[in-house]
């Protein structure tokens, strides 16, 4: 479920990256790469778990699925927060700098 959530986030981010004209300014590439990479890592985890559990891997308990979904959504939220911090620090549009150093009239 965590893998599925991460892959879904990666696909959505990639579509937004492809359609957006401000992809460079908004640093959307970082978000895409982060989610795709996490998906690849969880895919490896899934392979090892499948090798251990066999077909049972595809029949998880409902409570495990719910916990994994909760984890997956938390991971997506964390990814978005990391991206937002990078965006605000790099501040490609100068919005933060303009807000901080704006002179009072």
Partner 1 sequence: MACFLVPTAEAVVTTIATKVIEKKEKNNTEVSVSADEISLESTGKIPFSKKLKWLNNMLWGGSALLAFEHVWHGEVVPYFPFLTAAEDPASAAEMLHEMATAGVMMAVLVTAVWGCMVATAGFLEKRTSDDKAAKEERS
Q: 3-class SS at 81?
A: helix
Judged by CB, which is closer to partner 1: 36, or 60? Answer: 36
51-90 positions binding partner 1, by CB under 8 A: 71, 74-75, 78-79, 82
Q: What is the largest CA-CA distance in the chain?
A: 69
Which residue from 5, 10, 9 is spatially nearest to 70, judged by alpha carbons? Answer: 5
Piece of the chain touching partner 1 by CB under 8 A; list 15-23, 28-36, 56-64, 97-105: 28-36
Least gap, CB of 4 to partner 1 (angstroms): 14
Least gap, CB of 23 to partner 1 (angstroms): 14
Q: Provide the CA 32 distance to its chain's centre, in angstroms.
A: 7
Q: 3-class SS at 17?
A: helix
Among 43, 65, 85, 88, binds partner 1 (CB under 8 A): 43
Judged by CB, which is closer to partner 1: 47, or 95? Answer: 47
Q: What angle do CA 12, 78, 71 make, to 5 degrees?
A: 85
Which residue from 64, 10, 69 is spatially nearest to 40, judged by alpha carbons? Answer: 10
Residues that bind partner 1 (CB under 8 A): 2, 6, 29-30, 33-38, 40-45, 47-48, 71, 74-75, 78-79, 82
């Amino acid at each position: 479920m965590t893998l599925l959530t991460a892959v879904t986030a990666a696909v959505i981010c990639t579509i937004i990256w492809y359609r957006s004209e401000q992809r460079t300014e908004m640093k959307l590439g970082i978000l895409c790469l982060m989610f795709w990479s996490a998906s690849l890592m969880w895919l490896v985890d899934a392979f090892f778990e499948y090798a251990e559990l066999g077909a049972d891997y595809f029949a998880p308990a409902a409570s495990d699925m719910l916990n994994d979904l909760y984890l997956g959504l938390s991971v997506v939220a964390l990814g978005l927060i990391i991206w937002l911090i990078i965006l605000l620090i790099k501040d490609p549009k100068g919005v933060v700098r303009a807000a901080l150093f704006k002179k009072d009239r």
